Structure 1
């Protein structure tokens, strides 16, 4: 177990960064077309191909990759690079395969805003995102860096450094749930006046430092702690991808995605604000039977998705702070 989303069999992750522009891309790649769903919760999202994951669409069970990127709307071009890599491997959807007609890779994507983080954004006519998307795809594997890496490379979580986090859990009967998050939130991930993360009740084995609130800790409901002092529209976003190996229907996967939103609410305060672009993708590799009573099985997977996402969010910020040398 790596405690990463890649603990889900068949999932790889690749990341790429541009140090000069202070931005990056994360790509989640299943080894076979996956079932996909999405929940858009923030008031200012930026997405691509998210509509194809809705009920009744043609290709919701043919997801070839999920792309998360910095760069605001410029970053949506990262999916172009991912598509190029998939095309080179012959992957994609074709209703009727024909010689000389390429299949179309299905790559839902979402972006966060890192344009005002001090990096050099003077790209001229060509932004770096298609290049970064291809680099991230080519780098995909089972291990990847947390903290200031990938889509979270230039991010900020409230007044703390943001970053890319991941976590996983395996159930007693062998199902695996993994999460990856790029944290660029308006809200704070820590309790006001405390070193404890909001997600502390879900922490496993000290994975994000083990800080706990003091006995009797209380806070003013109007105190948001270290949230950003001056949020601007579309500038504050947490992007996430959940992967599961349980075989579920599309409707069931959509319910899991909706339940997974609780993971963001457990880890960030405030969340889903008008200035946020929060998006969660959920994909299933369908490699294992879910087992048990169907409604209870889906409730179980949704709860595990939420708690695992909360852990991934805290890990992303914790790893960024640790690598910066913060206490």
Structure 2
């Protein structure tokens, strides 16, 4: 399976004939895989947008005391906004760990949150794509459950999410290097951590992104 941020309708030269450049780009991405990698405008985050702001690539992870590892990687390209209406607060700020988001403001709106004027998208224009990776031993059904739970992480970080204009997709990978099969209780714990990491990854994508052309990044917008 695979997923992309659709960019065939964004202008530019598409006269590549039978050999689109994406094959080579995919191979280059695999060859460049490493434990340390760039966020923000890197990779799939380059042309991403999130509401009225520049989107980007974000990542977050957690390691429990007993050695369980859960990580999230996400390309934030959503119709919805990562910012609480009427404030400069990221929805994901509450989940920040160790200043990973630059300690953004955590203010609440004075009144009710507006419910109108939130969706201004078009078909094929947006999607947020992510992956959860863990060292737990999961079968296919369990990995699917973790991916489902991880979508809650998107819902905590972006509003609205899963709109008719979004193609939001999360995959789950499990290496199986952390021991025996997981029981339902353990699976729920992994899914919870996955959702938390996904929320944090969205926040990191926003603070790591840089302004590009007429797209203003969160940090520059916050400084105004």
Aligned match for 1:307, one of 196, 199, 210: 196
> Residue in 1 aligned with 2:150?
260
Aligned match for 2:70, one of 174, 177, 187: 177
> Residue in 2 aligned with 1:135?
28
Matches of residues 13-92 of structure 1 in structure 2 within 5 Å? none
Cα RMSD for the two superposed structures:
2.2
Q: Matched residues in 2 for 1:163 and 1:307: separation?
A: 18
1:269 has 2:141 as partner: no
1:162 has 2:60 as partner: no
Cα displacement (A) at 1:233? 0.5
Aligned match for 2:185, one of 272, 279, 296: 296
Q: Secondary structure of 1:136's partner? A: helix
Cα-to-partner distance string for 1:302-326 (whole Å, 9 max, x where unaligned): 0000010011111112101489661
> Residue in 2 aligned with 1:124?
16
> Residue in 1 aligned with 2:123?
233
Q: Matched residues in 2 for 1:311 and 1:175: separation?
A: 18
Whether the aligned pair in 1 keeps the contact of 2:94 and 2:106 (CA below 8 Å) is: no
Whether the aligned pair in 2 keeps the contact of 1:117 and 1:154 (CA below 8 Å) is: no
Q: Secondary structure of 1:264's partner? A: helix
> Residue in 2 aligned with 1:246?
136
Whether the aligned pair in 1 keeps the contact of 2:50 and 2:82 (CA below 8 Å) is: yes
TM-score normalised by L of structure 1: 0.61
What count of residue pairs does the alignment treat as equivalent? 215
> Residue in 2 aligned with 1:317?
206
Cα displacement (A) at 1:131? 1.3
Whether the aligned pair in 2 keeps the contact of 1:166 and 1:179 (CA below 8 Å) is: yes
Cα-to-partner distance string for 1:11-67 (whole Å, 9 max, x where unaligned): xxxxxxxxxxxxxxxxxxxxxxxxxxxxxxxxxxxxxxxxxxxxxxxxxxxxxxxxx
Whether the aligned pair in 2 keeps the contact of 1:115 and 1:121 (CA below 8 Å) is: no
1:197 has 2:90 as partner: yes
Cα displacement (A) at 1:295? 1.9
Cα-to-partner distance string for 1:204-261 (whole Å, 9 max, x where unaligned): 112112223326744324056xx66x31002110000000001122222221111111
> Residue in 2 aligned with 1:88?
none
1:210 has 2:103 as partner: yes
Give unpaired runs (5+ residues) of structure 1. 1-107
Q: Secondary structure of 2:72's partner? A: strand
Cα displacement (A) at 1:145? 0.4
Q: Matched residues in 2 for 1:290 and 1:267: separation?
A: 32
